């Protein structure tokens, strides 16, 4: 959901993002194309002006949420499927989980990588910041969760 609750952005297995009006269900933006595989994770920026997406094509993308235009180049630090992204509570960074067994961090203002990747035991299926932003958790198969 958008920060104001009026829009819903969704990723699809036809490699696109669509944005819907919550009140009436109408498609208001999309399909937004740019990923080379399904879109598994979609997050709004805190101010609602951008969308962040992740895909098994190994990339993370930034989009203008009003026009659907890509912002910058795809972020391609992962070497396998990117399955999940999470926005820090202050909105300044994204965390991404991948089947390459890493969690990576990205600056939301520039897309630049932040620090070194964290190593997760097994594929990364889901990633989340704690409410304070102090911790990051990554879940994978067989009930394995890492917290840093």
Supply the CATH number for residue 132's domain. 2.130.10.10
Residue 99 lies in a domain: yes
Residue 1 lies in a domain: no
d(CA 43, CA 7): 12
User: For 33-53, how does the pLDDT look when each residue is reduced to its tens digit (9 = 90+)?
Assistant: 999 999 999 999 999 999 999
Evaluate if residue 143 carries a pLDDT over 90. Answer: no
Domain that holds residue 111: 7-147
- In angstroms, the Cα distances linking 16 to 11, 30, 91, 121 are 6, 8, 24, 30
Residue 2 lies in a domain: no
Evaluate if residue 18 carries a pLDDT over 90. Answer: yes
- Chain-centroid distance of CA 113 in Å reads 14
Residue 97, classed as helix, strand or coil, is strand
Tell me the Ramachandran region of residue 36: left when phi exceeds 0, alpha when psi lies from -120 to 50, beta otherwise: alpha
Look at the chain and report how many structural domains it folds into: 1
User: For 77-132, how does the pLDDT look when each residue is reduced to its tens digit (9 = 90+)?
Assistant: 999 999 999 999 999 999 999 999 999 999 999 999 999 999 998 899 999 999 99
pLDDT of residue 87: 99
């Amino acid at each position: 959901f958008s920060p104001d609750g009026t829009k819903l952005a969704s990723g699809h297995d036809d490699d696109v993002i669509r944005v819907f009006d919550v009140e009436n269900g109408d498609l208001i933006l999309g399909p937004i194309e740019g990923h080379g595989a399904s879109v598994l994770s979609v997050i709004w920026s805190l101010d609602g002006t951008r969308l962040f997406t992740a895909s098994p094509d190994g990339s993370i993308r930034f989009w203008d949420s009003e026009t659907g235009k890509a912002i910058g180049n795809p972020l391609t630090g992962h070497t396998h499927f990117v399955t999940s992204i999470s926005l820090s509570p202050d909105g300044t960074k994204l965390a991404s989980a991948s089947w390459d067994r890493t969690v990576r961090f990205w600056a939301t203002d520039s897309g630049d990588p932040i620090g070194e990747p964290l190593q997760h035991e097994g594929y990364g299926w889901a990633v989340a910041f704690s409410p304070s932003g102090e911790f990051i958790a990554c879940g994978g198969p067989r009930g394995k969760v890492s917290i840093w």
